[in-house]
Structure formats: C-alpha cells, structure tokens
Structure 1
Amino acid sequence: MICSRTPREFFSADGVQIKETDVGQPCTECSKCMGYEPHNWRKNCRNCKCLREGHEIVAEHGARSRLGLTSNHDGLDARSLGYTFVPAGLTTARQVDQYYSSLPTHEVPKLGSKGEAARLQRIVKQLPKQDLALAACKFVEDSVKSSYQDFISARNEIALDIGLAKPAPPNSICDGCNRTIPNQQVSVVAPRMGKLIWHPGCFRCSTCQDLLVDLAYCVYDEKIYCERHYAELLKPRCEGCDEAWGSNCTETECFSAPTTAVLAPGGPRRDIVCLLTLLLPVALCLPMSRSTDENCAREDAAAQIVYFGP
C-alpha cells in the first residue's frame, strides 16, 4: 500500500462545496411522508420519522467538489454523454459504456434515471456534510474545534482520495472478489492502495458494502471505506444528530427518548439506546428458560446499562 501524503495543490482554494436541497423532498422509505421536514437537531424527518438520508436529497456538487478537491478538467464531459458522473481516467465514450455495462442498470447514473437518484443519496450518506465542514455541525464545542480541524487535515493528507478507471493489465485479480479481470477491461484503481485493482462493481466500502460514490474513498488499515465509515473507525458517531466529533450531545437534546441509557463499553464505542426498548424484550422473555430462548441474553445487557434517567 502507498502511504504518501496528498499535496496541498490537490485541494481547491475555495474549500468544500456543500449545497443541498432537502425540505419537501419525497421519502424513499415510506409512503406516508408529505415531504422532508428537518428536525431541530435529530437526523430524522419530522413528518415520517425516517432518516434524512432516506429522502431524495439533492446534492448540487459531486464528491470531488464536496470534498474540496480541485476539479478534473482532463476528463470527459459526463452530461454530454448522458451521465451525471464519469470516472477520471476514461478517454472515450466506448470506455464509459464498457465501465457502466458492468454495473446493474439501477446503479448507472444516467440523467433522469433511478441511478442518478441513487448517486445523490450516496453522496449525502457516504460524505455527510457534518464530516466535511465545521459550519455544518451543531454540537461541536469550542474545546474540540481544533481537534475537528486536525482530523480533517490528517484525513485529507493520509487517507482520502479519488479512484481512477483504467484498462486492466494482463493477469489482474480483483481485490474485491478475487476473480480474474480480463486484459484491457475497464477497471478501478485506488492510488493509495498501490497496484490493487477492482471490477467497477467491487469497489465498495469495507463496512457498508455500498458502491463508493464517484470513486471517493478513504484508506484505513489497508482497507477502503466511504468517508462516513472511515470517520466512525476513529470517532463515535451520535445516533441522534449524526455528528462524530466529541460533541456534547449526550448531555443535550439528542437524548430525546423519555428514558435513555448507554450500554457499557463492550467494544470500541458506546451505543445509545432507549431504556424501554432495551428492557421490554427482557420482560417478555423472563418466564422462559434461558437455555431455550436466546433473547434472554438481553438480561445480561440490561445488567450493564448506565442509566441517565428521564
């Protein structure tokens, strides 16, 4: 794996470009939503309670601009070819067609298609704005703002990058599926991962297994991740407000359930849960034998909670 630092000139002097349209956008998770209405602090819709990312949020900038990287002026014009995104490295319309022919139809970002909507959802989900700009955060305290900026700088220098599409050399093996890639077939390479190569459909986040939007990725421990899950490897993310920077939200509005608890550490992070949600399954299975009902393992979890009260 190559661990070189990203030169500063790769980043735009204008910084990150984040502009989203969310209010009134339809929900893709349910049919009862009258359009997305933001909550004051939570990541859920006021109307349907589904997650913000489950709505057709319109992100007006692609991954490169959203991450603050300089524009790639050497590539093909995506819209003239009928797409909203074309990977860097492709030089002909034929290569573009070959690249997208290897993906399911609903994943291809053709203008006006389901694939275009899927790409926009991935941009919002994989590249959350609160991970990219301090101005998008609500709960980052003054005492941790410098830590936030240090994290962004370190991530940009040693982990963040954009993949490239290129014809595969002879005897290539996909790092995602371990299958052979035919000679000269359009594939994906990640500069930070050295000579590794992927089928276009195998270039996915190691955590969520979703296609990496616009080939944007971060490297951690020799694996590739979307920015969201890269950040979560290093910082716990609040399940209420979706921020991950040492915010003080566990003492403010993010505890919106009437009774809340934090599971005692059993891994790299604590999980915030509703106490009633945690205990109800325990109460229901108490009369049953612990040897016959594995749900009773909840008793062990309930015994380890740290109660915060109403």
Structure 2
Amino acid sequence: MLERCIEATEAILYMELIPKEMQPVAGTEGAYHRRRQLLRQLPVYDVDPAQCLSLSEGEVGAMEEFVKLYKQDALGVGEVALPGEAGTAKDEGKQPPKNGKKTPQETSSAPNGTVTDCNKKSEYHCERCKQVAPLGSPVVFAERGGYARLWHPTCFVCCRCSEALVDLIYFWKDESLMCGRHYCEAVRPRCAGCDEIIFSEDYQQMEGLAWHRNHFSCVECEQPLTGKSFILDQAKLLCTTCSKSSKRA
C-alpha cells in the first residue's frame, strides 16, 4: 500500500513538471495535443500493413519483419522514478541465484548502468541538458539506454524533432532517443508523396527526399514525372506546366 502511495505521489509530481498546455487531461488542449502527437510520432501506417495504400506481398513481408525487429531491438516506454530508484519494480519477486553470485543487474560493472550503480551516486545529471536532477524530483529512464542515464521530464524528447515523446514511447538508436516517425525514417526511406515508409527497392530519390515510383508525379495534375522535366518546390513536385501556372497565380 505504501509503495502505491509513493508511485502515485511521483506521478503527480511528474505531471506538475510537464507544461500545463501539454498535460493530457480529458477535454483540454493537452489532450488534443497528445492525440495529434500520437498520429504524428506513431503513424498507424508505419506499423500495420492493412493501413497502407497498396503493398505487394513482398513489401508486406518486409514491413512485418521491420516491425518485429524494432519491437525487439529499439522500442521502449520510459519509466518515471526518482533518481536512483529506477528498475526496482522489475527486481521485485526475483529469486536469488542458487550459486549465491550476483546477477549482472546487481553488479556495478554492467556497461549500461544498473539500479545499484545509480544508488551509489550522490549527484545525477540529465542526459540531454546536463543539468542537475534533484533527488526528490521525478525523472525518466529509458531501459534500453541503461539506468545510468536519466532525463528531466521536459528533456525526454526525440533527438531529431525535439518533440516530447508522447506517452513516453521511445525508440533507441545510436545512443539516442527517437520518436517512432524519425526512427523509421532513419532506417528506411519515407515517401514524400504518401508519407508511408518505402519497403520496395524500386523508388525515386532526390535532394534527400524519396518517393514510391508511382508517387513520383505532379501534385497538381498527377502526371507521372519519371523521365520528364519537373520542379521541386518545398518538397512538392510540379510539372513545368503546373509550375508556370502556379507562378502566374
């Protein structure tokens, strides 16, 4: 009962550290913001082939394998706790090893840091801003990054877009936090036409952008542009005719 009270207190303190306009209270702007961020950071068509416009059998298989691997290797949910107390819930109920030796999580030499490591520290610093994390103030841990790292609640953001990670859902890549959208884009190209991840090897690429072959077309008249002259204007493809019309307007 006492532990539940402590957890509830930490949750309240955590919410107080989040900007008011971002607190996901039902019926408030914070709740709408959360919904928008979910759609932005975790597009349904990045995880469910049925939500994509059209995938071949091979592309469906590639997507399913892609999702399986990132769930196994990169996806996580941040853990809110006081500095030095992360991971304790996971250790409850574990039986001591029969040989009497400590597990890797109980030793101070584990590469990613552990609960024991954190408890030995006298001062904690946020991984992002490098400022001190007060002992009595909740922080966020990312298990995939190791419990030696922690973040202030407002610093638990995507390293690409700097947006707060909605519901603390993160992807761990290259020693950094990412939202789902930018993790996927770091591994596979995203089509500038339909916004879906490209799982075909037959696609068009230019100036850091990519398109499915059948989406490489004018945004105005939808004329296919492969092998034709076109204008790329702020990530929008225009055939020369539509480009001239747009300038006249």
| Structure 2 length-normalised TM | 0.67
| Alignment-derived partner of residue 133 in structure 2 | 181
What's the offset of the Cα at 1:254?
A: 6.2
1:274 counterpart = 2:238: yes
1:227 counterpart = 2:142: no
| Alignment-derived partner of residue 128 in structure 1 | 43
| Alignment-derived partner of residue 162 in structure 2 | 209
Q: Structure 2 counterpart of 1:123, which letter?
A: L
Contact 2:133 2:152 in 1 (8 A): yes
For the residue of structure 1 that corresponds to 2:25, the secondary structure is coil
Unmatched 5+ residue regions in structure 2? 85-121, 204-210, 227-234
Q: Structure 2 counterpart of 1:141, which letter?
A: S
What's the offset of the Cα at 1:97?
A: 2.1
Separation in 2, partners of 1:110, 1:276: 49
| Alignment-derived partner of residue 218 in structure 1 | 171
| Alignment-derived partner of residue 196 in structure 2 | 243
| Alignment-derived partner of residue 191 in structure 1 | 143
Return the index of the structure with the highest Cα Rg.
Answer: 2
Q: How does 1:90-129 map to 2 (within 5 A)?
A: 91-129=6-44
What's the offset of the Cα at 1:272?
A: 6.5
What's the offset of the Cα at 1:256?
A: 4.3
Deviations 1:51-89 (A, max 9, x none): xxxxxxxxxxxxxxxxxxxxxxxx98xxxxxxxxxxxxx
| Alignment-derived partner of residue 147 in structure 1 | 62
Contact 1:241 1:254 in 2 (8 A): no
For the residue of structure 1 that corresponds to 2:212, the secondary structure is helix
Contact 2:198 2:212 in 1 (8 A): no
Separation in 2, partners of 1:118, 1:144: 32
Contact 1:130 1:136 in 2 (8 A): yes
Question: Are the structure 2 counterparts of residues 139 and 272 from structure 1 closer, same or farther at C-alpha, using a change threshold of 3 Å?
Answer: farther
Q: Structure 2 counterpart of 1:228, which letter?
A: R
Contact 1:168 1:183 in 2 (8 A): yes
Separation in 2, partners of 1:276, 1:179: 53
Separation in 2, partners of 1:92, 1:150: 37
Q: Which has the higher helix share?
A: 2
Question: Are the structure 2 counterparts of residues 261 and 182 from structure 1 closer, same or farther at C-alpha, using a change threshold of 3 Å?
Answer: farther
Question: Are the structure 2 counterparts of residues 261 and 223 from structure 1 closer, same or farther at C-alpha, using a change threshold of 3 Å?
Answer: farther
Separation in 1, partners of 2:240, 2:224: 8
Separation in 2, partners of 1:92, 1:152: 32
| Identity over aligned pairs, percent | 28
Deviations 1:253-290 (A, max 9, x none): 5624246768xxxxxxxx7633559x88xx9xxxxxxx
- Paired residue total: 187
For the residue of structure 1 that corresponds to 2:60, the secondary structure is helix
Separation in 2, partners of 1:155, 1:186: 28
